[in-house]
Amino acid sequence: MEKPLTQHINPSRGPLNLKEYEAAGGYQALRKALKKMEPGEVTEEVKQSNLKGRGGAGFGTGMKWSFVPMGEDAPRQKYLIANADEMEPGTFKDRLLLEGNPHQLLEGMILAAYAIQASESFIFLRWAYKSAADILKEAIGEAYQAGYLGRDILGSGFNLEMNIHVSVGRYMCGEETGLLNALEGKRATPRDKPPFPQASGLFGKPTIVNNVETLSNVPHIIGRGADWFKGLSYTDEGGTKIYGASGRVKRPGAWELPLGTTLEEIIEEHAGGMLDGYRFRGALPGGASTDFLTGEHLSLRMDYSSVMDAGSRLGTGTVIILDDKTCPVGFVRNLERFFAQESCGWCTPCREGLPWVARTLQALEEGNGKPEDLEVLSFHTTYLSPGNTYCALAPGAMEPLQSALKYFKEDFEQHIRDGKCSYR
Amino acid sequence: MLTEEERKEIEVHIEKMPKRQAACLEAMNVLQKYRGWISDESLRELAEFLDMSPHELDSVATFYNLIFRRPVGRHVILVCDSISCWIMGNEKLEAHLKRKLNIDWGETTADKRFTLLPTVCLGTCDHAPALMVDEDLHRGLEAGQLDDILEQYK
Ligand SMILES: Cc1cc2nc3c(=O)[nH]c(=O)nc-3n(C[C@H](O)[C@H](O)[C@H](O)COP(=O)(O)O)c2cc1C
Ligand code: SF4
Ligand code: FES
């Protein structure tokens, strides 16, 4: 089983430096692209590979790049941004790539920048990732030294500058247009779309924002080709995925596996199964803003379309597990308090609705719930659904809630009936 | 007045950006490194340096979780209160710290040694529960380990 993204990563040994990365075949894809490929061919290869964005939404990466204006009439200044904000609760996959193989990300960024002909790039990194910041700064320095960054890269005439922006913390910074505002030194509220960032992004210039894992795949696609990449997955969606598991399992962690690995394999084989004395009750497949899956979904293939068909989203692919001794109401209360706190306050339904949801859940958990509360909760899952709010934060917040109301209804009813939480 | 050192470090960020304002978050980060927090006076000084109004800068400052507009202690403890850490018992860490330091969320100990704050997921959910003290990550914790950890920060 091939693991292109992580085969050289060994957390106990530290990150690959430039020499080690080159010895493992690093920067060969960049040499190939700069010597033999037109920018449009790089985009086309990525399109052919079927690589879908690993940041959560799963949008086709090559397709996204193809919306950037190219050619003589295109704006001179364009930007390429790596989204390393990773603040989605339960998600810890980008950290692995940032700390383990920084040059893989840099090479992916340089290739992406070449494809869209961007001359400037940023890594938007969350404050908490201190060691990643040091590792990336070191790697960027090495890449400049070796001529992979800066002016006239490898004698090709292509120029690219790269900077790190260390964010000061807000979940909305990870939302693509909130990120752009944060980078401009503003509040991280989202922007109206259209225009999409591909046409008018950072400082009004064409901009691509991609997730760290998405970009880390690019050198492998360019180096070994779209067909090879497509062959990596179990289903037709292409590539590997860094899956993870947290909660009461024997070996929580993150593993690179073929896209389309089943939920059961992730939990049983890789995470070692549930801790003794705990049973599996449900799971969020890809971070806090995805719908619950339950025991009936264990054989589900964890790719974008299969998880969608099961009523959820693959999201970030890092699974959060609910066991039988953890209260589903408390679980969802924890999530909704997070979303209420992180709402940027820009639009009324989310600003007013999420705190209401969080307070209602808290009352339920503390034994002060009323029968009407279930109506209040389910009303919000409709009221804050896609299309009713300015950005995807609020609809995302409703995904675990609506599915908890469906799968764990008896727990909600028990709290109201008994006036207390039976898990405490 | 911004010190020479602060000014130099902030200039590095301004140079990368087409507008001075775009460096304001990094600039506040720099000031916080030297001053611990962003006072009204710091805010005014910085706003002037970045060609922004103090109100505009404050509206940005107050949006972000890690810009401190009130004084903090010598060490800031950030306890992850997100889902995986909650499942794995972060409430025990919280209770222990509040009892031991005799402060609530957002407060600073009388000797100005520690400020206690909750934080969202630290991206280390496979080693839950986790917290950070200043720039150090501590993970896979039990409440019993906390006293020793606090001892490392004077
Ligand atoms: C509230 C919110 C937070 C987000 N946070 C992140 C994040 O931390 N990292 C990330 O890559 N994408 C995040 N996204 C998704 C981004 O908006 C965007 O879709 C993604 O960075 C695009 O990269 P991709 O196409 O490579 O997946 C977030 C979205 C929303 C609505
Ligand atoms: S949905 Fe929430 S986070 Fe998104 S714009 Fe509205 S208030 Fe802000
Ligand atoms: S939930 Fe605490 S580190 Fe992710």
Q: Mean pLDDT, consecutive 10-residue segments, chain A of 424 residues?
A: 95 94 98 98 98 96 98 94 98 98 98 98 97 97 98 98 96 98 98 96 98 98 98 96 98 98 98 98 97 98 97 98 98 98 98 98 97 97 96 98 98 97 91
Q: Is B153 on the interface with A (CB under 8 A)?
A: no
Check: CB of residue A395 under 8 Å from CB of residue A386. Answer: yes
- The answer to whether B28 contacts A168, with C-beta atoms less than 8 Å apart, is yes
- The answer to whether A252 contacts B125, with C-beta atoms less than 8 Å apart, is yes
Mutational pocket test of ligand 1: of A175, A193, A341, the residue with most ligand atoms within 8 Å of the beta carbon: A175
Look at residue B131 and give its three-state secondary structure.
Answer: strand
pLDDT at A191: 97
Structure-token match 């999409």, residue found: A196
To test the contact with chain A by mutation, choose from B49, B64, B69, B139 the residue with the greatest count of A C-beta atoms within 10 A, namely B64
pLDDT at B112: 97
Q: How far is the CA of B118 from the centre of ligand 3 (A)?
A: 11
pLDDT at B104: 98
Phi, psi of A358 (to 5 degrees): -65, -40
Q: What is the dihedral of CA A84, A89, A90, A96, to 10 degrees?
A: 20
CATH of domain A328-418: 1.20.1440.230
Domain ranges in chain A are: 18-231, 242-323, 328-418
Check: CB of residue A405 under 8 Å from CB of residue A370. Answer: no
- The answer to whether B83 contacts A335, with C-beta atoms less than 8 Å apart, is yes
pTM score of the predicted model? 0.97
Kindly give the number of the ligand 3 atom that is closest to the alpha carbon of B85: 2
**Alpha-carbon span A206 to B70, nearest angstrom:** 38
Q: How far is the CA of A395 from the centre of ligand 2 (A)?
A: 9
A184 vs B contacts (CB less than 8 Å): 19, 21-22
Residue B119 has pLDDT above 90, yes or no: yes
Q: Which of A171, A187, A330 sits opposite B120 (nearest CB)?
A: A171
Is residue A202 in contact with ligand 2, taking CB distance under 6 Å? no
pLDDT at A341: 98
Mutational pocket test of ligand 3: of B84, B92, B137, the residue with most ligand atoms within 8 Å of the beta carbon: B84
User: Under CATH, to which class is B75-151 assigned?
Assistant: alpha beta
For chains A and B, CB pairs below 8 A equal 134
Window B:115-134, CB contacts with A under 8 Å? 119-128, 132
Considering chain B, what percentage of its residues have pLDDT values greater than 90?
Answer: 99
Q: Is A89 on the interface with B (CB under 8 A)?
A: yes
CATH-assigned architecture of domain B4-63: Orthogonal Bundle (1.10)
Q: Which residues, 6 or more positions from A358, have their beta carbon under 8 angstroms from its beta carbon?
A: A333, A336, A337, A339, A340
**Whole-number mean pLDDT of chain B?**
97
| Domain spanning A242-323: CATH 3.40.50.300 | no
Tell me: ipTM over 0.90: yes
User: Under CATH, to which class is A18-231 assigned?
Assistant: alpha beta
Locate CATH 1.10.10 in chain B.
4-63
